[in-house]
Amino acid sequence: MENKKFVFIITKSYDNPDVVAGAMQLATNMKAFDIELDFFLMDKGVLLAKKGFAETLEWQKKDEFSPVAELIKTLTDLGAKFYICASCVKHYGLDKAEKIPNSEAKPGSFLAEMLLERQSLSF
C-alpha cells in the first residue's frame, strides 16, 4: 500500500460518544495497515484530550464498539497524535487540565496545512 496519510477531524464527545467510538474504531483498524493517521479535535471534541474525560462517556453503546478511553490508549500506543484546536483550549478549560499523551494544541492553520497533504474524515 502506498504511503497514505489521514487526519480524522473529531467535533463530538459527550454529545455523541457512539460517533466518536466508531471513528476511533475505524482509525484503529486503519492503523493496523501502518499508515500515518492523526486526529484534529475541534469544538466539543477537544474534551477527549482532557485526561480522564473519555472514561466519563457513559452513554456509549458498549456492545457495539470498544470504550472510547481504550481506543484512545490503543491509538496513542500506535503513535497517533491528537492535535487540539488552539482556539478551543481556553473555552473548554484545557489550559488548566492535564492532557492525554501525544496531544498538543495547534492553530487552525496547522489543520489547513495537514489537509493539503492528507485525506480527511470528519466526525
3-state secondary structure of 40: strand
Burial class (CB in 10 A: 0-12, 13-18, 19+), 36: middle
Whole-number pLDDT of residue 2: 64
pTM to 2 decimal places: 0.92
The whole-angstrom separation of Cα 94 and Cα 98 is 7
Give the residue numbers spanning the domain of 118. Answer: 5-122
Strands of the sheet containing 119-122, edge to edge, are: 103-106, 82-85, 36-41, 5-10, 119-122
Query: Residue 33: which CATH number?
Result: 3.40.1260.10
| pLDDT tens over the chain, length 123 residues | 567 899 999 999 999 998 999 999 999 999 988 899 999 999 999 999 999 999 998 765 666 678 999 999 999 999 999 999 999 999 999 999 999 999 999 999 999 999 999 999 999
Structural domains counted in the chain: 1
Count CB neighbours of 119 within 10 A.
Answer: 10
